[in-house]
Amino acid sequence: MALNIVIMAAGKGTRMKSATPKVLHKLAGRSLLAHVLKSGEPLVAQARIVITGHGADQVEAAVQADGISFVRQTPQLGTGHAIQQVVPALQGEGTTLILNGDVPLIQTATAKALIDACAGHALVLLTVDLADPTGYGRIIRDPDDGGVLAIVEHKDATPAQRLIHEGYSGMMAAPTGALKRWVGQLSNNNAQGEYYLTDIVAMAVAEGLPVLGIKAGSETEVLGVNDPVQLAQLERAFQAQQAEGLMRAGVRLADPARFDLRGTLTHGQDVEIDVNCVFEGHVELGDGVRVGANCVIRNVKIAAGARIHEFTHIDGETAGASVGEGALIGPFARLRPGAQLGAEVHIGNFVEVKNSTLAKGAKANHLAYLGDATVGERVNYGAGSITANYDGANKHRTTIGDDVHVGSNCVLVAPVTLGNGATVGGGSTITKDVGAGELAVARGKQVALGSWTRPTKKR
């Protein structure tokens, strides 16, 4: 049966006290609205419509994708008024699912349950039992048979109605034809002077249409974000869920409360992650990978047995990065886009690698920079050495053959090639290619002046 998915996202979000529209604030690295869209993604729908208003240009640009359309609501006169704006865009006789742009953790299975229960003819509300229902619309049930009779908004509720703990989550599935008709009949004669979508419940009851209340599986699933406190609480709840899922799959987290995943993480067996690590984008960890405390790791594939020591920063950005089997990285290392490290590579403290390939067993253990370089097997790249890969206008490559030894504090001015087995003396500035097996030394000659006296301080 034809399904329309409508996401209400026009509201201002005043309590966020932010220039960013509320639905674009991030939870686990993705906007609130993107979470809602993702939950709806597996559902086969003929239309996915986002209602925008406050910051509409920004919101639309942020979530634009094939199959998503936008309807603007200006001014915002309430949730019923919001749905009135989409009426012309709602096609067919099937079901319309209404979600909230600021309730990010709604589960696909729950949305599916609403749609199935609606089946194009019943009005189905997602409700939740709340310890503190303040602010929520209350579900009014028939004292005899428990059937839903109406939703009364908190501000319009009598003291007796306010004692009801079953609240409306803001999400429903409705028969499309009836919904279009009902929203045309709404009035704003209420405490807030708004057009309440929730008033359609009493209309359905009056018409004798079945109205069902389905209870949400968990409170987290229906919690909305109204201010930074709620955003942070939901972030922690979501991170706790992710951490638990990973631990159940065998990942050993030193402390699930100090773990953040803002994207996706795939992993092998016996992966260990110490405290305060942040994973972003897409990260793959092979069997036995160990990550030390305080690492930030984004868009990289790390092979089996590799060890990422404390305080390492890896960001493959869009190009990606890879770390080979048994490699040792850090502490205090920085891998940037295009860093492709082979097996058993060692990258030590204060070493930066960008757009460079290091073959098996190559080592750069201290204070070094490798940019736009191809580095052979077993190369030893000395402390303080750098590739001068940028001439101020263009980037150039440095090619270092197998078994090359680059001494400390060298500058390799690209483009330049060091042949297999070449050695570069410490402190050299290399501007010309070095042949295989050659020793290149390019630095001022040492002189000794015996007649010299050290200056003394004037009294």
Q: How many CB atoms lie within 10 A of CB 189?
A: 9
Choosing from 47, 63, 105, 151, the residue that interacts with ligand UD1 (CB under 6 A) is: 151
From the list 7-15, 64-72, 250-258, 328-336, the region that binds ligand UD1 by CB under 6 A is: 7-15
Please return the burial class of 272, using the count of CB atoms within 10 Å of its CB with bins 0-12, 13-18 and 19+.
middle
Residue 33 lies near ligand UD1 (rule: CB under 6 A):
no
- Tell me how far apart the alpha carbons of residues 109 and 115 are, in angstroms, rounded to a whole number: 10
Choosing from 40, 55, 78, 338, the residue that interacts with ligand UD1 (CB under 6 A) is: 78
Q: How many CB atoms lie within 10 A of CB 142?
A: 10
Residue with tokens 């992966």: 271
CB of 10 to ligand UD1, least distance (A): 3
List the single partner that 4 binds among ligand UD1, Ca ion, none, CB under 5 to 8 Å by kind.
Answer: none
List the single partner that 186 binds among ligand UD1, Ca ion, none, CB under 5 to 8 Å by kind.
Answer: none
From the list 15-23, 42-50, 218-226, 245-253, the region that binds Ca ion by CB under 5 A is: 218-226
- Tell me how far apart the alpha carbons of residues 241 and 220 are, in angstroms, rounded to a whole number: 10
Residue 76 lies near ligand UD1 (rule: CB under 6 A):
yes
CA angle 69, 73, 74 (to 5 degrees): 140
Q: Which residues pair with 334 in a beta bridge?
A: 313, 352
CB of 136 to Ca ion, least distance (A): 8
From the list 71-79, 221-229, 292-300, 335-343, the region that binds Ca ion by CB under 5 A is: 221-229
- Tell me how far apart the alpha carbons of residues 414 and 421 are, in angstroms, rounded to a whole number: 19
Residue 168 lies near ligand UD1 (rule: CB under 6 A):
yes
Q: Which is nearer to ligand UD1, 24 or 302 (CB)?
A: 24
Do 293 and 316 contact (CB within 8 A), yes or no? no
Q: Which is nearer to Ca ion, 21 or 224 (CB)?
A: 224
Q: Which is nearer to ligand UD1, 198 or 423 (CB)?
A: 198
> 3-class DSSP state for residue 34?
helix
What's the token pair of residue 419? 């042949």
Do 457 and 438 contact (CB within 8 A), yes or no? no
CB of 137 to ligand UD1, least distance (A): 2
Residue 55 lies near ligand UD1 (rule: CB under 6 A):
no
Q: State phi, psi for 19 to the nearest 5 degrees.
A: -75, -15
CA angle 49, 55, 59 (to 5 degrees): 45
Choosing from 3, 77, 314, 375, the residue that interacts with ligand UD1 (CB under 6 A) is: 77
Q: Which is nearer to ligand UD1, 182 or 279 (CB)?
A: 182
What single-letter DSSP state applies at residue 444?
P
- Tell me how far apart the alpha carbons of residues 21 and 51 are, in angstroms, rounded to a whole number: 13
From the list 165-173, 317-325, 337-345, 362-370, the region that binds ligand UD1 by CB under 6 A is: 165-173
What single-letter DSSP state applies at residue 8?
E
Choosing from 40, 170, 338, 401, the residue that interacts with ligand UD1 (CB under 6 A) is: 170
List the single partner that 182 binds among ligand UD1, Ca ion, none, CB under 5 to 8 Å by kind.
Answer: none
Single-letter amino acid code for the residue at 343: A
* Best CA proximity match to 67, nearest among 89, 82, 49, 51: 49
- By CB under 6 A, what part of segment 183-212 binds ligand UD1? 196-198
Do 424 and 409 contact (CB within 8 A), yes or no? no
Please return the burial class of 452, using the count of CB atoms within 10 Å of its CB with bins 0-12, 13-18 and 19+.
exposed
Residue 224 lies near Ca ion (rule: CB under 5 A):
yes
Residue 10 lies near ligand UD1 (rule: CB under 6 A):
yes
From the list 223-231, 248-256, 340-348, 410-418, the region that binds Ca ion by CB under 5 A is: 223-231
121 is catalytic: no
From the list 219-227, 339-347, 376-384, 402-410, the region that binds Ca ion by CB under 5 A is: 219-227
Residue 137 lies near Ca ion (rule: CB under 5 A):
no
* Axis-axis angle for helices 108-118, 32-40 (nearest 10): 50
* Best CA proximity match to 367, nearest among 387, 346, 351: 351
Which residue in 154, 165, 313, 366 is the catalytic one?
Answer: 366
List the single partner that 151 binds among Ca ion, ligand UD1, none, CB under 5 to 8 Å by kind.
Answer: ligand UD1
User: Contact residues for Ca ion (CB under 5 A)?
Assistant: 224
User: Contact residues for ligand UD1 (CB under 6 A)?
Assistant: 8-11, 51, 73, 76-79, 81-82, 100-102, 136-137, 151, 153, 167-170, 196-198, 224
Known catalytic residues are 366
